[in-house]
Structure 1
Amino acid sequence: MDTFEPSAIAARIAELRREHRALDERIDQLAANPVDELEAKRLKRRKLQIKDCIARLESMLIPDQPA
């Protein structure tokens, strides 16, 4: 992310949360029909990456505390 604008960060977080929900739904669909375990593992790994990215971005929105 090139800019550290709070509005840009918030927009990216919202986008990642939508992708996270979509992955969650797809993983649930695959769990109901466990044909492709490799795809489910890839989706779960991507979901964790998104969660980590959201956490990093959210921490960027928290102002630094003076010492």
Structure 2
Amino acid sequence: MRWDVSDAELSKILYDYSKDAKAATGSSDGGALLTVHIEETLRTTTTSGALEKTRNGFAVEPSTT
């Protein structure tokens, strides 16, 4: 399985997670939180598609091709 994320997309997601982490824990270590959510999402799917940020983490939008 291969997932491609552009630098701009990753920067935006990391920024959003930094804000979420700061609000939830008082620390802005969004990178660690982001990594955990991505790993959990990829472990629970065997399909391919787009990785979308949701309110509670990430979801996989299956590829239609």
TM-score, normalised via structure 2 length: 0.36
Give the number of the structure whose residues are more often strand, by fraction. Answer: 2
Structure with more helix by fraction? 1
Q: Which has the larger radius of gyration?
A: 1
TM-score, normalising length: structure 1: 0.35
